[in-house]
Amino acid sequence: MAHASDGRSLEFKLPDLGEGLTEAEIVRWLVEVGDVVAVDQPVVEVETAKAMVEVPCPYGGVVTARFGEEGTELPVGAPLVTVAVGEGDAAPDAPVRGAGPDTAAGAAEAPAAEKKAEGSGNVLVGYGTSEAPARRRRVRADRQPATGASGRANGRVRGAEPVDGPVPVISPLVRRLARQHDLDLRELTGSGPDGLILRADVEYALRAAAAQGGRTAAQEAGTGRAPGASSSASSLASGASRPDGTRVPLKGVRGAVADKLSRSRREIPDATCWVDADATELMRARTAMNASGGPRISLVALLARICTAALARFPELNATVDTEAREIVRLEQVHLGFAAQTDRGLVVPVVRDAHARDAESLTAEFARLTEAARAGRLTPGELTGGTFTLNNYGVFGVDGSTPIINHPEAAMLGVGRIVPKPWVHEGELAVRQVVQLSLTFDHRVCDGGTAGGFLRYVADCVEQPAVLLRTL
């Protein structure tokens, strides 16, 4: 194993793996301490709220430390591994990393203009290949409590007084969880690197509060808060007598879905309208297309083509709301998301530039993204940036639904199952292939007239596909 004297130790931190992601869970380590790694070699497989990702290390050398066990959740910016690079990879005047105070006392100061080691530059979003400080000492959750007035806060060791200065929390999810349960983060000691407070620390504290009869951290610290003070932790305690059930953590894809849908419900004043349509002619048109040879055209591709034509006529629905600026942002490109159910949960892959694709191209892209979703290979870029969503819930054998808008989009078209039903056709009762269509829309971007016009146009195209010829 290489030592600091052979070169220097470079720290590789968990990068920003995509839009809005703040943490990732270690699924599988691909290297061991002591292994030699090449530049851009994957060192760990992590699961974010959006996808499974193999993370490449931009340094080549010997792995001297790994931070976190499999199953551990790390925030973006937390160290993953340290790599000792050889003399040939490091600046000749690089100082020794990891020296303690006693060894540093006799060492000469490094030159101010120290040359920086360079990484591959082939990095993911938001992180660089900067040189790390010394291999940092890991902070463990089982550290000994201080004496005197010190004690335990919700099961985690804390000092005699709340910590002054900024609270060591990176993840906004951790802050929100603590705020929802009236938990003072200053009274917790984190188990992450350098005392970083992780979500597991907050969850542990809340469970401990419930087990101790609903006493909050402030009460244990002697702040005098009344036992009847409003606190979600005490609410948890009040339910401690209920029979225990199976608890499933809201994390990964399930947690991301929960957060996004909750945010949509909080922020978007949505409304839904729906209409039944005779899809017989659309089904016949698809049969004729597939009988003519060439790649087969999927039904969802035809529905997507109808969506893009409708959005060209009603661009108000291809939009988002900038709440800070109090502005509606109408978007030029249509990046069409579609709901896909997988073993890992519901995901919404995005077909880029759907407005510029024909039915064959849409069919191929839907098939590619669906297969990637089922295999867990979707990248963050394929799961973000949608402007409108198509939800074909008819595959579950249901007729209708009132779907929740995929925040921050402004609308979602829902399609139920297509089934034979009695229908008045050309003045006579006949059995036709009928589908229910629904449109859930953000009432801030348009009124009911626009939403109704959009849905009526979609229904007209389903009933008379020749209507689309006007826009081809």
277 close to 435: Cβ distance less than 8 angstroms: yes
Q: Are 254 and 345 in contact (CB under 8 A)?
A: yes
Q: Which secondary structure element, helix H or strand E, spans residue 161, and what is its range?
A: none
Nearest to 253 by CA among 159, 182, 134, 347: 347
Strand partners, 79: 13
255 exposure class (CB count in 10 Å sphere: 0-12, 13-18, 19+): middle
- Distance in Å from the first CA to the final CA of the chain: 65
Taking each helix axis from N to C end, the angle separating 172-180 and 199-211, rounded to the nearest 10 degrees, works out to 20
d(CA 159, CA 150): 5
CB 58 within 8 A of CB 43: no
DSSP letter (8 states) at residue 426? T
Can you tell me the distance from the alpha carbon of 233 to that of 372, in angstroms, rounded to the nearest whole number? 41
Residues 6+ apart with CB under 8 A from 103: 96
**β-pair type (156-157, 152-153):** antiparallel
How many CB atoms neighbour CB 227 within 10 A?
A: 11
For this structure, is 355 an active site residue? no
280-291 helix and 299-313 helix, angle to the nearest 10 degrees: 120
Q: How many whole angstroms separate alpha carbon 2 and alpha carbon 59? A: 14
Q: Is 358 a catalytic residue?
A: no
Point out the catalytic residue in the list 194, 322, 353, 447: 447
User: At 223, is the secondary structure helix, strand, or coil?
Assistant: coil
Q: What's the longest Cα–Cα distance across the chain?
A: 100
State the Cα–Cα distance between residues 455 and 441, nearest whole angstrom.
11
Please give the Cα distance from 198 to 209 (Å, whole number): 17
d(CA 464, CA 174): 52
User: CA–CA separation, 438 vs 354, rounded Å?
Assistant: 20
Say whether 465 sits in a helix, a strand or coil: helix
Outline where DSSP puts E strands in 152-212. 152-153, 156-157
Q: Is the peptide bond before 249 cis (omega within 30 degrees of 0)?
A: no
What does the block give as tokens for 52? 């499974």
Q: Catalytic residues, which ones?
A: 443, 447
